[in-house]
Amino acid sequence: MNYFFKPGDAVKLKLSNLTMMIKGMASLPSEHAEIAQKERYECVWFDNRRLQKAIFSKEFLELLAPHYDVLHFANYE
C-alpha cells in the first residue's frame, strides 16, 4: 500500500504554520469504519525545546519537504 507521507517528511497543518515531521503511520482502533480506514500520521515537533507529538489525518497536513532533517529528530525517539 502506498501512503501519501513517509517517515521523515516535513509537513505543516493546513490552517497554521506549525512545522512538524512525520514519525510514521498511526493506527487507532475505531468502531466506525469510515474513521478506521483513514490515513493518519503521528507527527512530532518542538515547542519551547520540548518534543511534542500528535496524530493527524492526512487531510489536515500539507507536505513541505520530503525527508527533512531526519537525523535531528532521530535523537529524540
Query: Residue 51: inside a domain, yes or no?
Result: yes
* Tally of domains within the chain: 1
C-beta atoms surrounding 58 within 10 Å:
16
Q: What per-residue confidence (pLDDT) applies to 27?
A: 73
Query: Residue 69: inside a domain, yes or no?
Result: yes
- Rounded to whole angstroms, the Cα distance separating 27 from 15 reads 23
Q: What per-residue confidence (pLDDT) applies to 51?
A: 93
- Rounded to whole angstroms, the Cα distance separating 2 from 69 reads 22
| Domain that residue 30 falls in | 10-74
- With a CB cutoff of 8 Å and minimum separation 6, the contacts of 31 are none
Query: Residue 32: inside a domain, yes or no?
Result: yes
Residue 76 has pLDDT above 70, yes or no: no
Sign of CA dihedral 39, 68, 13, 48: positive
Query: Residue 3: inside a domain, yes or no?
Result: no
Query: Residue 4: inside a domain, yes or no?
Result: no
Alpha helices in 1-77 (DSSP H): 33-36, 70-74
Query: Residue 52: inside a domain, yes or no?
Result: yes
pLDDT tens-place string over residues 6-48 = 998 999 999 988 889 999 988 766 565 555 567 889 999 998 8
68's grid cell: 527533512
Q: What per-residue confidence (pLDDT) applies to 69?
A: 54
Q: What per-residue confidence (pLDDT) applies to 20?
A: 92
Query: Residue 56: inside a domain, yes or no?
Result: yes
